[in-house]
Structure 1
Amino acid sequence: MSEPRTTTPTLDKDPGTTPPAPADGSGRFWSARRVPAAVVAVLLLAAAGLLLYDIAAVRAHRPAMHWRRALARQLAERPLDDVWVLAGAAVTVVLGLWLIALAVTPGLRGLLPMRRPHPDVRAALRRDAAALLLRDRALDVTGVRSVRVRMRRKRAEVRVVSHFRDLDEVGADLYTALTEAIQQLGLPRPPTLSVQVTRPGRKG
């Protein structure tokens, strides 16, 4: 058994340098955004219905609802630099930007698009499933005691605790095994692999 080391070797390379199978990617999967869409639709429907009822009541020679008279009076009397006016404008802008962001971003960040062997086939791999596969492959390497994997869209961070063997040897074996595992995931753009190996009791 080798003596405890004072250094922490880190391998940070891009397995994407190995040419993947010739196939296009599936592209990001778009979220349906059902909850935000339902909330916005309900709010707009309620506001439109209430305003339509009030307008119909005024046309029928009945007084306008109290809230609309109070709102019209407040808008006429309050200056533009009033705190409440500025606060309402800020909230409206934030909500508008949030809705725009939901409309132009795909969402579903937990899905990794896979290579597309046929134009009519689209597939994706969950990040937690990819992380579990890399963890299992890392545990198969001799000398590995525990593994933590953090899978992102463009980077796979693997933190390993080794209780015997030379750290450099363990790191080299891990890089080889995990590079092969990443290529087998079927991703069009394999993430950058970062491998860090430490001894028990050390933080890396």
Structure 2
Amino acid sequence: MWKDNLIMHLRIIHLETDDSQIEAKINSSSNKRNKAVVSDKKYLCELCGFAAAKPSNLVIHMRRHTGEKPFKCDFCDKAFPNTSDLKTHRQSHTGEKPYICNTCNKAFPRAYKLRIHMRTHSGERPYICSYCNKSFTHSKNLTLHVRRHTGERPFVCGICGQGFIQGAQLRKHRQLVGHHEDIEPKRKTLLLE
């Protein structure tokens, strides 16, 4: 069952279509380490192939497809699919920063932000450019860097057609040149009916 879930994951999430590539990824040593974990997950989402170890985790996952958000913020109108997301959001109102760096005492609202910060002390740069081997502490910085190699410019001015590597550059362009076309609202999560 874990293999079927992994195949579905590679096809849906990574858009992998080549069967030989899928088989190679499944047989790679890095995936063999995960077999024990995946095989424990016996509750399967029929919409996307997500596998959960407990039925309650599948219920929470299904809210991503239905758009259900039963947990409401006490401070604003936002709602969330689970209590964990709500707790994290509440910190934006309270200013709580419970994760503290042992080296410099800088505080963070989320554990993953502290983990990323720790790279500044350790020198760890795990994201490596496949074009020039330059390394980065953040995946987003690698993504922006790779666009310089590939020429990808996904942020395009709707008036003049000029493309930019990141959204901030497009916003600056609009401000400097005065190209303020009507900006469409952010995409909402697709709700399945």
TM-score if structure 1 supplies the norm length? 0.20
TM-score if structure 2 supplies the norm length? 0.21
Which structure's residues are more often strand, by fraction? 1
Larger Rg: 1
